[in-house]
Amino acid sequence: MLSSVVSVSGLRVDRGGREVLHGLTFDVPRGSVVGLLGPSGCGKTTLIRSVVGVQVVRSGSVTVLGRPAGSPGLRRLVGYSTQNPAIYKDLTVAENLRYFAAVLGAPHGDVDRVIDEVGLGINRHQVVATLSGGELSRASLAAALLGSPELLVLDEPTVGLDPVLRQELWELFHELADRGVTLIVSSHVMDEAARCGRLLLMRDGDILADDSPGGLRAATGTADLEAAFLHLIAERQEAHAS
Amino acid sequence: MNVRITLATTRRILSQLRHDHRTVGLLIGVPSLLMILLRYVIDNEIAFDRFGPMLLGIFPFIVMFIVTSVGTLRERTGGTLERLMTTPLGKLDLLLGYALAFGLLALVQVAVVATISMTWLGLDLAGPVWVLLLVAVLDALLGMALGLFASAFARTEFQAVQFMPAFVLPQALLCGIVVPHDQMATWLQWISNALPLTYAVEAMQQLAGNTDITVTLLRDTVVIAGSTILALTLGAATLRRRTP
């Protein structure tokens, strides 16, 4: 189906000698903001690495924009920001972004645009090693926004940010989605879930739910998403017990 | 392979060095200091003329081995390599980017040490200076290529630093500086013949003793360049887009 930007089917991945993803299947439609929620260690990062094509997978398929994940043709179309900020600590913010822009073949004005979008204007000429944790992760996020990616895969981009900045970044994510960019954003904080158009709730390498926040609340008969998550876990355990 | 990306990578590595004055100071200062020490420890002009050029070949080799093995390990563990592997950057772009940056650095390093040696320290080099620079830069690139390869087997910076003595000291023992090549036991000669640093040292000896470019010097240069390409190819094989 052309409207789905990411299509995952029966994805199994082993890490450190054990299976960490147990046959995941889901689709991500174009222009959506999908939240990948779940506790630390549930397999979010492994799934994200599989989508950007840097993870060795055991079986199953991951198709991105109609091509197998990691295909050379996708390398300009997928923006990726890792959980630990992956930028050069001994360069300034601008030097880092100029390098990644050159690698991506992004236009010259792009460096200024992304610095603006993540609100790092005053830190532009600051060496990355001297940035705070939140500034560091925003600098890393900025590198993922360079060029014109059709899919953005962001692993915990808002960790450690103050609420105002977090709000601004989520507004940016939705602006991007309105322009037709598809976003997969992981988080282990439940209060971020309400900001996503769709949620994938993960636990122990399985997807517990794949629904909109409203749909999830309605299906579980709960008022907030934290409670919905707990409800789903209890439901699954009952199913296992019986 | 893409020239724009390769040059951007070279520029990025040189910018990183520009922010790190102490490393650049050490890269240039330490070999100079060692050369000065050597001159006065030997305190014999004829012997210095023999050993000096050999060290001019070994310094850039050792220094670039360390800098590259730690630098590449940082790219691997810091996540920047994983990010780059999701971009249009080719493995060759990264390798050549490093080679260009460190080749330039080696050129500056050798130029400074050679100038000090040939003026203040009175080193007499029979052969042409540009060949000395060329061979020294090739030695640096060989060290870089081996460092890149070695970094694939290190998980921590502690391990990477330990690879320096492991990869370099056996070669330094067997390359003909400590004991001349023809005075070693036959089996040691065989091993020595298989190690690239032997040819680096022999090339420098040829330069020190002959005004012309000898056939041996030419052969040594080809062997050093060939070993560099081999090590770079092996190094490229250790850069994987997908990791477990």
Q: What ipTM was predicted for this assembly? A: 0.90
| Closest CB to A88 among B4, B16, B85 | B16
Compute the average pLDDT of residues B197-224.
92
Q: Give the model's pLDDT for residue B235.
A: 85
Of all residues in chain A, the one with the smallest CA distance to B3 is: A103
Q: What is B62-111 written as a DSSP string?
A: HHHHHHHHHHHHHHHHTSHHHHHHTSS--HHHHHHHHHHHHHHHHHHHHH
Q: Which helix (H) or strand (E) holds B214?
A: none
At residue A162, the pLDDT reads: 85
Answer yes or no: is pLDDT of A48 > 90.
yes
pLDDT given for residue A1 in this prediction: 45
Chain B interface includes A130 (CB < 8 A): no
DSSP letter string, chain A: -TTEEEEEEEEEEEETTEEEEEEEEEEEETT-EEEEE--TTSSHHHHHHHHHT-B--SEEEEEETTEETT-GGGTTTEEEE-SS--S-TTSBHHHHHHHHHHHHT--TTHHHHHHHHTT-GGGTTSBGGGS-HHHHHHHHHHHHHSS--SEEEEESTTTT--HHHHHHHHHHHHHHHHTT-EEEEEES-GGGGGGSSEEEEEETTEEEEEE-HHHHHHHHT-SSHHHHHHHHHHHHHHHHH-
Whether residue A29 has pLDDT greater than 70: yes
Residue A21 phi, psi dihedral angles, 5° rounding: -120, 125
Span A175-201, pLDDT tens digits: 999 999 999 999 888 888 889 999 999
Classify the C-alpha dihedral B210-B216-B220-B221 as positive or negative: positive
**What is the mean pLDDT of the segment spanning B120-149?**
91
In whole angstroms, what is the distance from residue B138 CA to residue A110 CA? 38
The answer, for A85 touching chain B at a CB cutoff of 8 Å, is: yes
Give yes or no for a contact between A154 and A166, defined as CB atoms under 8 angstroms apart: no
Region A93-98: mean pLDDT is 97
C-alpha distance from B103 to closest chain A C-alpha (Å): 20
Yes or no, beta carbons of A82 and B87 under 8 Å apart: no
- Predicted confidence (pLDDT) per residue in B31-90, tens digit: 999 999 999 999 998 889 888 888 888 888 998 898 888 888 999 888 999 999 999 999
Q: Which of B35, B195, B200, B62 is nearest to B118 (CA)?
A: B35
Strand order in the sheet with A18-29: A18-29, A4-15, A59-64, A67-68
Cross-strand bridge partners of residue A155: A186
Query: Could you tell me if A91 lies within 8 Å of chain B, comparing CB atoms?
Result: yes
Residues in CB range of A67: below 8 A, 6 or more apart: A73, A74
Between CA A235 and CA A45 the distance in angstroms is 25
Find chain B residues with C-beta within 8 A of A86's C-beta: 78-80, 82-83
- Chain B positions touching A89 (Cβ under 8 A) are 78
For residue B238, which of B96, B5, B71, B73 has the smallest C-alpha distance? B73
A213: phi then psi, degrees, rounded to nearest 5:
-55, -45
Mean pLDDT for chain A?
A: 92
Q: Measured between alpha carbons, how far is A216 from A30 in angstroms, rounded to an integer?
A: 21
Of B2-11, B170-179, B220-229, minimum mean pLDDT range = B170-179
Average pLDDT over chain B, rounded to whole? 91
Average pLDDT over residues B182-203: 93
Q: Which residues sit opposite A8 in a β-bridge?
A: A26, A62
Beta strand A198-203 with A206-211 is antiparallel
Interchain pair A90, B87: CB under 8 A: no
Angstroms from B235 CA to nearest CA on chain A = 18
Nearest to A196 by CA among A218, A174, A216, A179: A174
Per-residue pLDDT tens digits for A119-155: 999 999 999 999 998 899 899 999 999 998 999 999 9
pLDDT band at A2 (very low <50, low <70, confident <90, very high): low
| Percent of chain B residues topping a pLDDT of 90 | 56
| A143 and B CB contact within 8 Å | yes
Query: Can you give the length of chain B in residues?
Result: 244
B12·A70 Cβ contact <8 A? no
Instruction: Check if A70 contacts B (Cβ < 8 Å).
Output: yes
Helical axes B215-238 vs B91-118, angle rounded to 10°:
140
**Helix (H) and strand (E) counts for chain B?**
10, 0
Q: Please state the rounded mean pLDDT for residues A99-116.
A: 95
Q: Backbone phi, then psi, for A136, in 5-degree steps?
A: -60, -45
Mean pLDDT along residues A96-115: 95
Q: Provide the shortest C-alpha distance from residue B5 to chain A (in Å).
A: 5
End-to-end CA separation in angstroms for chain A: 37
